[in-house]
Amino acid sequence: MTDAPDLTDLLADSPSNWGKWGDDDEVGALNYLGPEQVVAAASLISSGKVFTLQRLIGDPKGDPVWPGRTPAERTQILDESSWDGDDAPAFPGGLHYADDKINAFLQGSTQYDALGHVWYGGQIWNGYDARTTIGGLDKASIQPIAEKGVVGRAVLLDMARFRGKPTLDAAETYTHEDLLACAEAQGVELRKRDIIVIRTNYLQLFFELGDKFYEGFCEPGLVYSPELVQWFADMEIPNLVTDTIANEVTFDPNNGVALVLHNALMRNLGVTLTEIADLEQLAADCAEDGVYEFFYAAAPLKVALGSGSPVNPIVIK
């Protein structure tokens, strides 16, 4: 145990959106994205350039995952060799085909977290009892988010370029004030109901350092303050997308608590978190054309009771 405060005490006065969209809500701040936001986002499409933000599953160079999770394992079930023996499957006309399967953590690649993914104090998003998570998320699973889909105006905040470094450092933090300064430097306005996409390029170190990457694991990211949480609430941010494994500094340097913002933003405000996005091609393009706002669309997989899902978000400029 550590001297870190309990989240119940730390976030006692933190803003909450519980009940705002009804007692049955399971998509939280994604309610801020309606037809008006979709149409406005579509008006940003001008060049027709398309970017996909998913990292490769089964990357030969390795898949970065949260400590304790393991990368997806893909197994070949059928291939041309399956027809070598006498007991090969036989189909009229001589059909052969390839089949495979994966054994994967639902949060082991580019992913959407369900709102019921994290909690403290025995309650998940919207006040549902945390015991509804036993054996699978009966409430606030990934399914309602997958059914709704996520479409809106998104803004890339390239914190690594803004700070003039190839990647942010382990445990390096930034605040909402830093996000605003980055947006100003990039010449883009952050608006209410924007999807915020933050680049750190930190996972480049996973590929450079190998196993050493996990020594003293503490990712860079947003750091909790009451003001930052209030800013997210006031800005009605529906979705936070980053290229790190867990979207925020892993251990808050001010109090030692793990993943404070998962709780303050996801559990309490209903902000959906998207992690391990690959922002490299998009960021290079934004640096070149100076356009940091774009149409964003994503639909996680409809996994019954799931606490998250792989996703391949699409950006169109």
Contacting residues toward ligand UVW, per CB under 6 A? 66, 107, 113, 118, 245-246, 259, 262, 275
* Cβ contacts of 42-50, under 8 Å, gap ≥ 24: 42/295, 44/153, 44/293, 44/294, 44/295, 44/317, 45/294, 45/295, 45/316, 45/317, 46/317, 47/289, 47/317, 48/316, 48/317, 49/285, 49/316, 49/317, 50/314, 50/315, 50/316
Round to whole Å and give the CA distance between 231 and 88.
Answer: 62
Considering the complex, what minimum distance in angstroms separates the CB of residue 317 from ligand UVW?
A: 28
Residue 259 beta carbon to ligand UVW: minimum distance, rounded to whole angstroms:
6
Q: Shortest distance, CB of residue 190 to ligand UVW, whole angstroms?
A: 23
Q: How far is CA 12 from CA 5, 15, 129, 317, in A?
A: 11, 9, 18, 41
Q: Smallest gap, in angstroms, from Cβ of residue 108 to ligand UVW? A: 9
Angle at 118 between CA 114 and CA 119, to 5 degrees: 130
Query: For residues 150 and 245, which CB has a smaller minimum distance to ligand UVW in the complex?
Result: 245
Q: How many CB atoms lie under 10 A from the CB of residue 267? A: 30
Select 153 or 267, whichever has its Cβ closest to ligand UVW. Answer: 267
C-beta closer to ligand UVW: residue 66 or 217: 66
Name which of 104 and 188 has its Cβ closer to ligand UVW. 104
Give the residue with the Cβ less far from ligand UVW, 233 or 276.
Answer: 276
Closer Cβ to ligand UVW, 153 or 262, answer by number: 262
Report, in Å, the least distance between residue 258 CB and ligand UVW.
Answer: 8
Nearer to ligand UVW, 183 or 271 (CB): 271
Burial class (CB in 10 A: 0-12, 13-18, 19+), 92: exposed
∠ CA(249), CA(254), CA(260), 5° rounding? 45
What is the smallest separation between the CB atom of 308 and ligand UVW, expressed in angstroms? 6
Angle (nearest 5°) at CA 301 between 261 and 245: 35
Q: CA-to-CA distance for 294 and 188, rounded, in angstroms?
A: 11
CB of 200 to ligand UVW, least distance (A): 14
CA-derived radius of gyration, the chain: 21
The CB-of-18 to ligand UVW minimum distance in angstroms stands at: 20
Cα–Cα dist 299/201, whole Å: 23
Judge contact between 116 and 126, C-beta under 8 A: no
